[in-house]
Structure 1
Amino acid sequence: MSRYRRINIDGKSVTETRVAAAALLPGTFAVIDANDKFAQAVAAVGRVYVINSAYHQGLGIRDVVPAGDSAVGDYVEEGRELAVLCPAGTYKKDSPIKVGANGQGAIATSDTDTVIGYSQDEAVITSGQTDFIRVRMRVGTVAAPAP
């Protein structure tokens, strides 16, 4: 069972809705691509979103939003608290979080990582598993794309 039942845990409804360019897991980072669709984020560049559960389609927090279906993404903005899907690891309060593999959150481990927010949870996610970590987003982490 997941630690959270929804992605938007700060009570704000600041979202965009687009067609999913590919299958997207709730809690992963996404961007709007050149075709005006949600695509999996590979870095914290440009406007970044966290994909919501597709409750409007009868899907839950662990259900993939299928490619071609409607997807809702929460804006990554200063102070927002969102549940981010993260891989195995030991997460402490204030662990720095970056955009990792498959658009999931990951612990930032070097000074060249772009920190997108900080864990608000203390959690150990076991090897081979994923779970949601409450992340408070920070300002100034998302660089504008190169012209």
Structure 2
Amino acid sequence: MPRYRRVNIDGESLYKTETRKLAATLNPGTFVVINASNLFAQASAPVGRMYVLDCAYHEGLGITDPIPSGHSGVGNYLEEGREFAVRVAAGAYKKDQPITVVAGQAAAVPAAAGTYQVIGYCQDDVTTTAVDFIRIRARASSVTVA
């Protein structure tokens, strides 16, 4: 059972979303972009206008149910101050920890040397033992940290 039941935590989904068909089967709480075919596609890294894929409630699917390729998906605008439950790999997450995007999924910015695009900050103190969700607060634009 995931820690959250919905992706959109801030309740602004009525007017801050886009609806598109999916280019591939995708999970709620992952980051997507609109590709050249006007479909939602998984974001491989922080780039351009990004969205957080919501659950497909309109198809009876919940937060842990993948949305099939070619089906309709709702993407929430990734904008300053918005809060989302996003999909993460197992690990330890701390409040105010910088978050980036790796292969469509939220990931903690590594402590190792490198350059990373921060898209938001973790709002939970939690250790997950499997793929789960954490709450993040988004930034207006990504910031590079080294």
Instruction: Give TM-score, length-normalised by structure 2.
Output: 0.92
Residue aligning to 1:121: 124
Alignment check: 8 A CA contact 1:20 1:71 kept: yes
1:142 Cα deviation (Å)?
A: 7.4
1:92 aligns with one of 85, 88, 94: 94
Which stretches of structure 1, 4 residues or more, deviate above 2 A after TM superposition? none
1:72 aligns with one of 67, 74, 91: 74
Residue aligning to 1:138: 139
1:140 Cα deviation (Å)?
A: 2.2
- For 1:111 and 1:12, the matched residues in 2 are separated by 34
Structure with bigger strand share is 2
Residue aligning to 1:7: 7
- For 1:34 and 1:80, the matched residues in 2 are separated by 26
1:88 Cα deviation (Å)?
A: 1.1
Overall identity of the aligned pairs, in %: 59
DSSP-derived class of the 1:118 partner: strand
Deviations 1:11-51 (A, max 9, x none): 11111000000001000000000000000000111100000
Where do 1:12-31 residues align within 5 Å? 12-13=12-13, 14-31=16-33
DSSP-derived class of the 1:3 partner: coil
Unaligned runs of 5+ in 1: none
Instruction: Give TM-score, length-normalised by structure 1.
Output: 0.92
Deviations 1:87-126 (A, max 9, x none): 011100011110013x110001155110000000011011
- For 1:122 and 1:136, the matched residues in 2 are separated by 14
Tell me how large the CA RMSD over aligned residues is: 1.3
- For 1:36 and 1:142, the matched residues in 2 are separated by 27
Residue aligning to 1:83: 85
Unaligned runs of 5+ in 2: none
Q: Across the two proteins, how many residue pairs are aligned to each other?
A: 140
Alignment check: 8 A CA contact 1:85 1:104 kept: yes
The one-letter amino acid paired with 2:9 is: I
1:139 Cα deviation (Å)?
A: 1.7
